[in-house]
Amino acid sequence: MSSVIDAVNGGSGVASSRAGSAAAAAGSEDRFLKMLVAQLKNQDPLNPLDNAQVTSQMAQINTVSGIEKLNGTVAGLNTRLVALQALQGASLVGREVTVEGSRLAVADGAGRGGFELSAAADQVKVEILNGAGRVVGQLDLGAQSAGRHEFAWPSGEVSDADDYRFRVSAQAGSASVLRTTLARDRVEAVVSDGNALNLELAHAGTVAYDAVRAFN
Looking at the structure, do residues 55 and 102 belong to the same domain, yes or no?
A: no
Residues 15 and 71 in one domain: yes
Mean pLDDT of 177-198: 88
What domain range is 145 assigned to? 96-215
Residues 132, 183, single domain; the answer is yes
Tell me which of 22, 56, 90 is where a domain ends: 90
For 60-116, write each residue's pLDDT tens digit: 666 666 666 767 676 666 677 666 666 766 788 899 999 999 999 998 889 999 999
How high is the pLDDT of residue 157? 79
Q: Are 107 and 71 in the same domain?
A: no
Q: How far apart are CA 193 and CA 89, in angstroms?
A: 13
| 103 shares a domain with 24 | no
Q: Is the pLDDT confidence value at 179 over 50?
A: yes
Residue 23, pLDDT > 70, answer: no
- The reply to whether 12 and 86 lie within a common domain is yes
Residue 43 binned pLDDT confidence (cut-offs 50, 70, 90): low
Residue 18 pLDDT greater than 50, yes or no: no
pLDDT on residue 115 = 98
Query: Both 121 and 197 in a single domain?
Result: yes
**Structural domain tally of the chain?**
2
> What pLDDT sits at residue 22?
54
The answer to whether residues 86 and 100 belong to one domain is no
Q: Which one of 90, 109, 137 terminates a domain? A: 90
Of 93, 94, 36, nearest to 61 (Cα)?
A: 36
pTM: 0.60
Q: Residue 147: give its domain's CATH number.
A: 2.60.40.4070
More confident position, 156 or 38: 156
**Per-chain mean pLDDT for the chain:** 79
User: What's at 3, amino acid-wise?
Assistant: S
Positive or negative CA dihedral for 13, 73, 88, 150?
Answer: negative
* pLDDT, tens digit (0-9, with 9 covering 90-100), for 115-160: 999 999 999 999 999 989 999 999 999 999 999 999 999 988 777 7
Same domain, 106 and 83: no
Residues 17 and 46 in one domain: yes
Q: Does one domain contain both 146 and 75?
A: no
For residues 85 and 113, membership in a common domain is answered with no
Under 8 Å between Cβ of 187 and 201: yes
* Cα(149)–Cα(181) distance, integer angstroms: 10
**Over residues 30-48, mean pLDDT:** 65
* Domain closes at, from 68, 90, 112: 90
Residues near 71 by beta carbon (within 8 Å), at least 6 away in sequence: 19, 20
Give the Cα separation of 24 and 70 in Å (integer). Answer: 12
> Do 88 and 36 meet the contact criterion of CB atoms below 8 Å apart?
no
Do 101 and 213 form a contact (C-beta atoms < 8 A)? no
9 pLDDT exceeds 70?
A: no
